[in-house]
Amino acid sequence: MAIEKTTDAVVLVGGQGTRLRPLTLSAPKPMLPTAGLPFLQHLLARIGAAGITHVVLGTSFKAEVFEEYFGDGSKLGLEIDYVTETEPLGTGGGIRNVLPKLRGDHAMVFNGDVLGGTDLGAILDTHRNRDADVTLHLVRVGDPRAFGCVPTDADGRVTAFLEKTQDPPTDQINAGCYVFKREIIERIPEGRPVSVEREVFPSLLAEDARVYGHVDSSYWRDMGTPEDFVRGSADLVRGIAPSPALDGPRGESLVHPGAGVAPGALLIGGTVVGRGAEVGAGARLDGAVLFDGAVVEAGATVERSIIGFGARIGPRALVRDAVIGDGADIGARCELLRGARVWPGVTLPDGGVRFSTDV
Helices (H), 130-265: 182-186, 201-206, 226-238
Least Å from the CB of residue 112 to ligand GTP: 3
User: Closest Cα partner for 135 from 124, 146, 150?
Assistant: 124
185 binds ligand GTP (CB under 6 A): no
Rank residues 121 and 224 by Cβ distance to ligand GTP and give the closer one. Answer: 224
**Member of 88, 189, 276, 282 binding ligand GTP (CB under 6 A):** 88
Q: Cis omega before residue 22 (within 30°)?
A: yes
Least Å from the CB of residue 14 to ligand GTP: 3
In sequence order, the 6+-apart residues with CB closer than 8 A to the CB of 232 are 34, 115, 221, 223, 241
Rank residues 17 and 310 by Cβ distance to ligand GTP and give the closer one. Answer: 17
Least Å from the CB of residue 199 to ligand GTP: 13
**Member of 3, 9, 12, 179 binding ligand GTP (CB under 6 A):** 12
Least Å from the CB of residue 30 to ligand GTP: 6
- Range 56-75, binding ligand GTP (CB under 6 A): 58, 60
d(CA 127, CA 189): 23
d(CA 203, CA 179): 17
C-beta neighbour count of 5 within 10 angstroms:
11
d(CA 149, CA 13): 23
270 binds ligand GTP (CB under 6 A): no
Is residue 359 exposed (0-12), middle (13-18) or buried (19+ Cβ within 10 Å)? Answer: exposed
Rank residues 29 and 46 by Cβ distance to ligand GTP and give the closer one. Answer: 29
112 binds ligand GTP (CB under 6 A): yes
Rank residues 114 and 294 by Cβ distance to ligand GTP and give the closer one. Answer: 114
Residues that bind ligand GTP (CB under 6 A): 12-19, 29, 58, 60, 85, 88-91, 94, 111-113, 224
